[in-house]
Amino acid sequence: MHLAFVVAAATAAIVAADASPLTDCQILSNAWATQFPDNPSDPYACLKQPGITSNDNKHIDAIEFNNKPELVGNLPDLSGLTMCTTLSLWTTGLTGPIPSLPPNLYGLTLVDAGFTGTIPLELPQTLVVLNLKQTQLSGPFPKLPNTVTTVYLNDNLLSGSIPATLPPNLATLNLMNNSFNGVLPDVLKNFNAANFDGNCFDNAIAFNVKNRADCSTPVSSTTAIPTTASTITTISQSPVSTNSPTTLTDCQILNKAWPSQFPNTDSYGCLKDPAITSRDNEHIYSIQFNNKPELKGSLPDLSGLTQCASLSLWSTGLNGPIPNLPPNLYGLTIVDSGVTGTIPSNLPATLTVLNLNNNKISGPFPKLSNSMTGLSLANNQLSGSIPDSLPSNLYYFDVSNNTLTGRIPAVLAASHNNLKPQLSGNCFDNAASFGATNRDDCQPVQPVVSTATTTMAVSSRTTSDVISATVSTRTTSDVISATVTPVSLTDCQILSLAWPSQFPVNADPYACLTMPGIESR
């Protein structure tokens, strides 16, 4: 009996040792079988489903569902998806608490749903964007990783005070319409992209913030009350425009630029549109459309909206080039649309997040401002090389599935800000050094002619002339210049080096002589 037990235990150990690790799809099926049923015949079946993105056809890089009210129940534990960087769920029927999350998540968006409970204490330490607006979350302000740059927690049931210490690169913070109280930290005074209205802060007046009408704690009598006419206008309940009669309001600017979408000609009529938010009932703070395929045509010139901080357009029917943008924009998102042309060379200097995934954008890699922290340009038609100099505070970088070439700059090494750049699906010379997979149609890297210290004797098959040339050899990982023992190349080998697309390298050193268009005596 004892022997049988030992044999059974040994057999079980062998089976466990031989068991293959689960694929991401199998992990997802185990956690969320109602949405991703198991497919025993295909361990990567989920990668073909709408809403799932993979950069290597093996691992899940993103889970994105927009306008899926039929998606109900609790969100399951997704901590096993170690390569997933984006979880985005807009307007779903999901409820319950936020579970354990993928450990290397860069973007977490759970918007317009029935999530309850508190925000997890242990958020992924790689997180850059946290968007949990318009749910039913309660509890205190969350502990934010130092990598976070953008936070939307508006329209929830959060309470307590705001900590005095916040992430060093935080650029956008929206806390409006909660139950926060206490004192707003001084560090938030210079935030251009912030909204604290609809809470119960003691020093609300000092920040030009409008508290809730039902606050039980009065505003501190020690807080200085502004007395200038311009400040009184800013904090009044009804917008009193300080514009001259010839100056257009933001709504009038938007009506002239985009009358098909904003036909209301009233001075402040557009502020009632669900796609518009305003911090002062006068100026446009953000424009947001999600899952609006009926929104067609070209995006108009929006440069007149000087206080607009966020432009977010997901899954629309918009096409054409990117126009002039609001000059103080912090976040630009145009995803899953038909946008064409090149990325503007004059992007706003304030821009921190640029997301142009899944469009038809071509041209070179864009010039980025030093304020940029998150860049996502996946699934476009960008070409050329990535510059050696990039913003120092980049925490997210995705250029997968374009036609970029050249060498990946060293600044994108994984040790930089814990950055894990997404680079596959291009034609980089040193892709393997960064764990990236190139496109199947890339031309093989060939030796190139350049100035170096090497002198190579090249002999001709039909003459006795000796040609001196300077040659350096380039591999996929580095460029080597070295003294080489003189060798003789045939004309066909010389032609293959110079014109590999037309005359590929062949084991036969005279193969090209049999090709149409080539004559030899």
- 340 and 358 Cβ atoms separated by less than 8 Å: no
Domain limits of the chain?
Answer: 250-421, 455-514
484: which residues sit within 8 A by CB, 6+ positions away? Answer: 454, 456, 471
Q: Residue 276: what pLDDT?
A: 86
112: which residues sit within 8 A by CB, 6+ positions away? Answer: 90, 91, 92, 133, 134, 135
pTM over 0.75: no
Which residues pair with residue 419 across a beta bridge? none
- What is the residue type of 413? A
Q: Which two tokens stand for residue 15?
A: 């089976």
Q: What is the pLDDT of residues 391-429, one digit of tens each?
A: 887 878 899 999 999 999 988 875 556 678 899 999 999
Q: What is the pLDDT of residues 80-131, one digit of tens each?
A: 999 898 898 888 888 899 999 999 998 899 988 889 999 998 899 989 889 9
Question: In terms of C-beta distances under 8 Å and separation of at least 24 residues, what long-range contacts does 370-378 make, across chains too?
Answer: 371/171, 373/128, 373/149, 373/169, 373/171, 374/106, 374/107, 374/128, 374/129, 374/149, 374/150, 375/399, 377/343, 377/402, 378/53, 378/55, 378/402, 378/422
306: which residues sit within 8 A by CB, 6+ positions away? Answer: 283, 326, 327, 328
CA–CA distance, 126 with 418 (Å, rounded to integer): 7
Where in 98-199 does DSSP place strands (E)?
Answer: 107-111, 114-115, 129-131, 138-139, 150-152, 157-160, 172-174, 179-182, 193-195
Which residues pair with residue 405 across a beta bridge? 427
- Scored b (16 or more CB within 10 A) or e, 334-359 reads bbbbebbeebeeebbebbbbbbbbbb
User: What is the second-level CATH architecture of the domain 250-421?
Assistant: Alpha-Beta Horseshoe (3.80)
Q: What distances in angstroms separate CA 102 from CA 78, 125, 163, one per listed residue? A: 6, 10, 26
Q: What is the pLDDT of residues 348-361, one digit of tens each?
A: 988 888 999 999 99
CA–CA distance, 121 with 296 (Å, rounded to integer): 42
What DSSP assignment string belongs to 206-254?
GGT----TT-SSPPPTTSPPP-SHHHHHHHSSS----S-TTSPPHHHHH
Q: Residue 98: what pLDDT?
A: 94
503: which residues sit within 8 A by CB, 6+ positions away? Answer: 492, 495, 496, 512, 515
What DSSP assignment string belongs to 388-410?
S---TT--EEE--SSEEEE---G
**Segment of 66-75, 327-336, 459-468 carrying the highest mean pLDDT:** 327-336
CA–CA distance, 118 with 98 (Å, rounded to integer): 8
Q: What is the pLDDT of residues 47-79, one digit of tens each?
A: 888 888 887 888 898 898 877 888 888 998 999
pLDDT tier, 445 (very low <50, low <70, confident <90, very high otherwise)? low
Which residues pair with residue 89 across a beta bridge? 65, 110
Q: What is the DSSP letter of 502?
A: T
Q: Which two tokens stand for residue 135?
A: 């749910």
CA–CA distance, 27 with 80 (Å, rounded to integer): 7
The per-type count for the chain, helices as H runs and strands as E runs, is: 5, 29
Check the CA dihedral 179-182-185-190 and report its sign.
positive
Q: Is the pLDDT of residue 163 over 80?
A: yes
Q: Which two tokens stand for residue 411?
A: 């600044």
- 360 and 341 Cβ atoms separated by less than 8 Å: no
User: What rounded mean pLDDT belongs to the chain?
Assistant: 78
The phi-psi region of residue 198 (left if phi > 0; otherwise alpha if psi is between -120 and 50; otherwise beta) is: left
Q: Which two tokens stand for residue 228?
A: 């200038």
CA–CA distance, 224 with 216 (Å, rounded to integer): 20
Q: What is the pLDDT of residues 216-254, one digit of tens each?
A: 755 443 333 332 222 222 222 333 333 434 588 999 988
CA–CA distance, 197 with 215 (Å, rounded to integer): 12
CA–CA distance, 429 with 439 (Å, rounded to integer): 12
Q: Residue 92: what pLDDT?
A: 85
